[in-house]
Structure 1
Amino acid sequence: MRVVVIGGTGLIGSKVVAWLEGRGHDAVVAAPSTGVNTITGKGLTEVARGADVLVDVSNSPSFADDDVLAFFRTSTANLIGAAQGSGIGHYVALSVVGADRAPDSGYLRAKAAQEQLIRDSRLHHSLVLATQFYEFAAGIADAATTDGVVRLPPGAVRPVAAADVADLVARTAVGPPLDGVVEIGGPEVFGLDTWIRTFLAAKGDPRTAVTDPRARYFGTVPDERTLVPGPGAVTGRVRLADWLAG
């Protein structure tokens, strides 16, 4: 099977490519560094030609509200056009659990817009919605730091290892289109504040993590269900303690 992986050099994309190649599939790495630009459209027609599946695990270079919305709208529209023009039979995209439940977050609002564009395209598709990656803990802490103090709301999260997410994305890509959604979260539930506090302690980071019910997580204040997958979600295998130890 020939699978084009948009964002194939990134955290998830590189793992998806390795999974596919390890099982005998023809994985095509598509990224600006390989001459494919989803914003300008450069290289899209060529890389999509002859492909069976298109996997989009790319991300915006800027998380500013207007920038990230423009990125996902433009990039997704161009990818849909390339998929339709080449006759690709399965469009797989990675998004975020709860994106449609957090309109105050510019990033999650943009991901929700991406999901809707794909649904409206009439392409056979699968949307893989993941919770926050363990690998994002440092960035989350940095974004929440003011004057050396990390302030985070206590809303529930089920963080997951990037390897588990990549595994599900790859398995979804080589399976039949869902024409719907599959969710994945980690095996444990934490408060967002507790997760980041645990991460900082494990890394020897001296910053204090404070629980603040008014603090925002990328623009939104999550509650106990905003960022948590629903019943029937796939459960990742890697526990937080094991990931930290590894």
Structure 2
Amino acid sequence: MKIVVIGGTGLIGSKTVAILHQAGHEVLAASPSSGINSYTGEGLREAMAGAQVVIDLANAPSWAPSEVLDFFQTTSRNILAAEAEAGVQHHLALSIAGTDRMPDNGYFLAKVAQEQAIVASGIPYTIVRATQFMEFLGGIAAAGVDGDVIRLAPGQFQPIAADDVAASVAAVAQAAPINGIVEIAGPERAPLNEFIARYLKAVGDERTVVRDTEARYFGGRVEELSLVPMGEARLGSINLDAWLRRAQASA
């Protein structure tokens, strides 16, 4: 089966491509460096010729609300049009758990627009909504810095390792489209402030994490269940301790 992976050289894309190659599929890792640009449309028609499945893992280069919205609307329009022309049988997109529950977060709002375009396209699809990646824990901590402390909301948090994300995406890509949403998350759930405090302690960062119900998450207000699946989810197998061991071993 030919599978095109948009964003195939990124964090999740490169891992997904490797899994699908190992499973015996013909996999095209599409990226601007390979002459395939989902934003401009360059190379999309040629890339999708003969493809049965397209996985959209493209990530916006900016977090500015207007720019990220433009990115996902434009790339979705270009990708879906090329898929329709090529007769693609399954469109899979990676989205974010809770993306429809934080309307004051510009990135989440843009992902909602992406999902809406997919649903309206008429192409069979599956949307995989993942919780935040463990690889982003340091960045999440940095976003909460306030002087010499880190202020984070206590909403529930259930991060997932990139390896588990890629495994789930690859599995969904090899299955029939469900025309719906699959949610995936890590195996451990705890308040965001507590999870980040645990992470910082493990990496030797002595800064204090302060529980602050008014702290924003990249501009969005965090309620109790803003960042986690609301119902049943597929859980990864890599917990924080295991992920830290892997990260330290590869450093």
TM-score (norm 1): 0.97
Count matched residues. 246
1:179-224 Cα shifts (integer Å, max 9, x gaps) = 1110001111111111111111111123222111111001112222
Partner of 1:196: 196
1:127-182 Cα shifts (integer Å, max 9, x gaps) = 00000111110111112213242111110011111111111101111110111110
Moved more, 192-201 or 128-137: 192-201
Which amino acid is 2:29 matched to?
A: V
Separation in structure 1 between the aligned mates of residue 110 and residue 135 of structure 2, nearest angstrom:
21
Task: Extract unaligned runs of 5+ from structure 1.
Answer: none
Question: Runs (4+) of structure 1 moved beyond 3 Å?
Answer: none
1:37-89 Cα shifts (integer Å, max 9, x gaps) = 11111011110111110000110011111111111011111111111111101
Which amino acid is 1:79 matched to?
A: I
Question: Which secondary structure does the structure 2 equivalent of 1:111 belong to?
Answer: helix
Partner of 2:249: none
Partner of 1:47: 47
Separation in structure 2 between the aligned mates of residue 115 and residue 68 of structure 1, nearest angstrom:
14
Separation in structure 2 between the aligned mates of residue 6 and residue 169 of structure 1, nearest angstrom:
13
Separation in structure 2 between the aligned mates of residue 192 and residue 157 of structure 1, nearest angstrom:
5
Which amino acid is 1:47 matched to?
A: A
Q: What is the identity percentage for the equivalent residue pairs of Structure 1 and Structure 2?
A: 49
Task: Extract unaligned runs of 5+ from structure 2.
Answer: 247-251
Separation in structure 2 between the aligned mates of residue 146 and residue 163 of structure 1, nearest angstrom:
32
Q: Give 1:231 shift.
A: 2.5
Which amino acid is 2:228 matched to?
A: V
Q: Is the 8 A contact 1:155 1:221 kept in 2?
A: no
Q: Give 1:17 shift.
A: 0.2
Separation in structure 1 between the aligned mates of residue 8 and residue 232 of structure 2, nearest angstrom:
28
Partner of 1:137: 137
Which amino acid is 2:3 matched to?
A: V
1:83-104 Cα shifts (integer Å, max 9, x gaps) = 1111101000000011011101
Partner of 1:79: 79
Which amino acid is 1:82 matched to?
A: A
Q: What aligned pairs does 1:36-185 form with structure 2 within 5 A after superposition? A: 36-185=36-185
Question: Which secondary structure does the structure 1 equivalent of 2:61 belong to?
Answer: coil
Question: Which secondary structure does the structure 1 equivalent of 2:221 belong to?
Answer: coil
Partner of 2:240: 240
Separation in structure 2 between the aligned mates of residue 97 and residue 57 of structure 1, nearest angstrom:
15
Separation in structure 2 between the aligned mates of residue 107 and residue 176 of structure 1, nearest angstrom:
28
Question: Which secondary structure does the structure 1 equivalent of 2:5 belong to?
Answer: strand
Question: Which secondary structure does the structure 2 equivalent of 1:209 belong to?
Answer: strand
Which amino acid is 2:44 matched to?
A: L
TM-score (norm 2): 0.96
Question: Which secondary structure does the structure 2 equivalent of 1:206 belong to?
Answer: coil
Q: What aligned pairs does 1:14-25 form with structure 2 within 5 A after superposition? A: 14-25=14-25
Partner of 1:5: 5
Which amino acid is 2:32 matched to?
A: P
Moved more, 20-29 or 136-145: 136-145
Q: Give 1:227 shift.
A: 1.2
Separation in structure 1 between the aligned mates of residue 110 and residue 80 of structure 2, nearest angstrom:
16
Q: Give 1:232 shift.
A: 2.1
Moved more, 155-164 or 141-150: 141-150
